[in-house]
Structure 1
Amino acid sequence: MKKIERVTLIVLDSAGVGFLPDAAEYGDLGANTFAHIGYATGGLNVPNMEKLGLGNITDIEGVKKLEVTEGAYGKAKEVSKGKDTTTGHWEMAGIITDVPFPTYPNGFPEDIIKEFEEKTGTKTIGNVVASGTAIIKELGDEHVKTGALIVYTSADSVFQIAAHEDIVPIDKLYEYCKIARKMLNVGRVIARPFTGESGNYTRTPRRHDFSLVPTSKTILNKLKEAGKDVVAVGKISDIFAGDGITESKGVNKNNLDGIEKTIKALKEDTKGLIFTNLVDFDMAYGHRRDPIGYKNALEEFDNKLPEIYENMKENEILIVTADHGCDPIFKGTDHTREYIPLLVYGKNINPVNLKIRGKFSDIADTIEELILGVEKEGSFAKDIIK
């Protein structure tokens, strides 16, 4: 098998391709993020992902099924319990989560809020399940007036703290988040800073996720221990609490910024893994039920694929995938329990049908075999390399 020196793994955050067999347990029977965006918008125009085989994975209006593709294609099933960012990314890196992270659909218990207020010396307001943009619109004035921190959650396992940067300096907000991180077993504690004036508050790019440290060794650790580079783009470093990362390019201002950082990383002489998360699909369009915005973002990414290809060497491959679904025309605003796409490109790739992979962790197994030469049960390395 031809040696591969670098893999670029790009996660289109929430771009699922159809509900999983156990979706009914999560209330997600019928969800299909990619397909429903095509249906709701009159069709997707993503010719580069189409050439890789996207239309062969699920029926998407505007995306053709092809007998001959330029890449390998398939989809993967999640076996971890949950449908959140941490669970999905950890599984594709090799960790199966058997017990889901706790969620708080009715807000956090009084004793948690009381402890947090005592440890920070600061009052809180909110403590509800809410959209981040909606809650700062609703409670921003009260926060500015009183200095009380806006605490809220979502359908995910998250403890989110919103604060105006003029009221709570960003370092202080991060300090409060670190206090909450030590207290809680949620998947992520998230700093949600904002600026502006009454009626015109806007969130800033200084969001920071404080995640749990991975519970066991991941493909990131294995690569780093072998002396390979693990370059994180976007919130990847946050998701893994920096564990196994050799370099972080920082949080993305938006998807395009993340794509440009990925291209810049490709130009560098590294060997190992470039791991990118493009969160706008989920944060800006999925949760906000905006299929038009989601469509435009997918087409923007697709337009940049040729430039990504141009900066790839002979001995490297690209894997495009997702971490869960967030169907913008399905009921509610929550993530959806879906298969994730697998699109693989490289100058020496066999354009094969990878079919349905049994675990997201087949991605980790494949990377380990490709770069470290360790044969793994779930790997599809031998299928894709000529």
Structure 2
Amino acid sequence: MMEKFRRIFVIVADSLGVGAMPDSPAFGDVGVNTLGHISQTADSFHIPTLQKLGLANITPLKQVPPASAPLAYYGKLCEKSNGKDTMTGHWEMMGLEVTRPFKTFTETGFPPELIRELEKRTGRTVIGNKSASGTEILDELAEEEIATGHMIVYTSADSVMQICGNEETFGLDELYRCCEIARELTMKEEWRVGRVIARPYTGKKKGEFKRTSNRHDYALKPFGKTALDALKASGLDVISVGKIRDIFDGQGITDSHKSKSSVHGMEQTLEIAQTDFHGLCFVNLVDFDALWGHRRDPEGYAREIEKFDVNLGRLLDLMKKDDLLIITADHGNDPTYTGTDHTREKVPFLAYSPSMKGGAEIPEQETFAVVGATIAVNFGVKMPEGTIGSSLLSLLK
């Protein structure tokens, strides 16, 4: 089959949900709508590129009218997997249905047996061991860590163990060593978290601490082959930007680019768009989630979307006739909702190519996996055994 598109860009606006799913209350999420509530709350919201693609046609936005003739095909995707976290969302996008949610330790911290083993193996005393925001835990405990050489361990509403280390006093190599031990320990079924995250920081006293871009995620490998593996095995480029490489633990990736921020991630994507790759450029923009969603800051979230909109306009200018752009999300994180957890939501789906004659609404889909399936069919690649999802390629005219 002749491929329709030579290059496909998939951009995941991390946590940009567009409304509750029927089962959202079972996840503790009632009436959530990340994008809708950002628009309702923010003083202003200027997103001309996303507006003309059709974002405001997906869910009503207070300051942004729907486009009368949207350029993109637009709709909503439901999550089939059991979860509302980064790995579940991305793995499903590429064909894996996660039926058992990853372990979280939000309420209690990590079990004493795990902490004891971690202390024994690393030779360091653990402090913290609770659910906290990354900036708060540094203000509370970083001075103690610097003075004593103890190790800050904390979690969040996600399935993660996060370990902080001061780049000057703890050292990056030592932080990574401790995280590798933690990853090994948390492979045990009852302690199995989705990711162990190294959280390096700089600064000497409260109020000055800053997390750095030397973060490293130690993720579980996907439990099966994904669309990425199929593309790579067929000799296609699979270029990752942001934390995509970490989410898939490098599986199916041919080239990866680490981002310092979401703006930087889009700048990297613009550079990649000026190269003649053949295959997929898969981008995660994490700041929506990490800086604004978890911190319950709708105003900051709105400004981040506006910055994205500017660079998105630049990307559209660089796109060729045989390029396809898909914009979606991996879960919600409604900054107007209670707590600091992700929210179980539908996600947006926007698909645009300069070769399209205009956009239209596509029916709501029951899984994020339509993304991977569409890419595979475009390149004439067979999806791996045991994956889910069917292609939307025939709808994109």
Match of 2:93 in 1: 92
Match of 1:154 in 2: 156
Alignment of 1:278-297 (within 5 A): 278-297=285-304
Give the percent of matched residue pairs that are identical in Structure 1 and Structure 2: 46
AA paired with 2:252? G
Match of 1:202 in 2: 210
d(CA) in 2 for partners of 1:168, 1:84: 30
Match of 2:343 among 311, 336, 339: 336
1:142-190 Cα distance to aligned partner (Å, 9 max, x none) = 1011111100001110000011111221121111111111111210000
AA paired with 1:261? Q
AA paired with 2:19? G
1:343-378 Cα distance to aligned partner (Å, 9 max, x none) = 111112351211211100011111111122659962
Match of 2:246 among 238, 249, 272: 238
Match of 1:213 in 2: 221
Match of 1:23 in 2: 24
Match of 2:317 in 1: 310
RMSD of the alignment, in Å? 1.3
Match of 1:119 in 2: 121
AA paired with 2:210? T
Match of 2:81 in 1: 80
AA paired with 1:71? A
Q: Is the 8 A contact 1:43 1:63 kept in 2?
A: no
d(CA) in 1 for partners of 2:341, 2:57: 26
Match of 2:281 among 270, 274, 282: 274
Q: Is the 8 A contact 1:314 1:347 kept in 2?
A: yes
d(CA) in 2 for partners of 1:377, 1:283: 28
Give the Å deviation of 1:220: 0.7
Unaligned runs of 5+ in 1: none
d(CA) in 1 for partners of 2:178, 2:315: 39
Alignment of 1:1-386 (within 5 A): 3-105=4-106, 106-184=108-186, 185-199=192-206, 200-250=208-258, 252-349=259-356, 351-372=359-380, 378-384=390-396, 386=397
TM-score norm. by structure 1 comes to 0.97
Give the Å deviation of 1:103: 0.4
d(CA) in 1 for partners of 2:368, 2:162: 27
Unaligned runs of 5+ in 2: 187-191
Give the Å deviation of 1:340: 0.6
User: Tell me, what secondary structure is at the counterpart of 2:209?
Assistant: strand
AA paired with 1:7? I
Give the Å deviation of 1:120: 1.0
1:102-147 Cα distance to aligned partner (Å, 9 max, x none) = 0002100000001111111111100000000000100011101111
AA paired with 1:337? R
User: Tell me, what secondary structure is at the counterpart of 1:167?
Assistant: coil
Q: Is the 8 A contact 1:43 1:61 kept in 2?
A: no
* Stretches of 4+ aligned residues off by more than 3 angstroms: 373-377
d(CA) in 1 for partners of 2:7, 2:241: 15
d(CA) in 2 for partners of 1:237, 1:121: 30
d(CA) in 2 for partners of 1:355, 1:37: 24
State how many pairs are aligned: 384
Q: Is the 8 A contact 1:6 1:371 kept in 2?
A: no
d(CA) in 1 for partners of 2:63, 2:394: 32
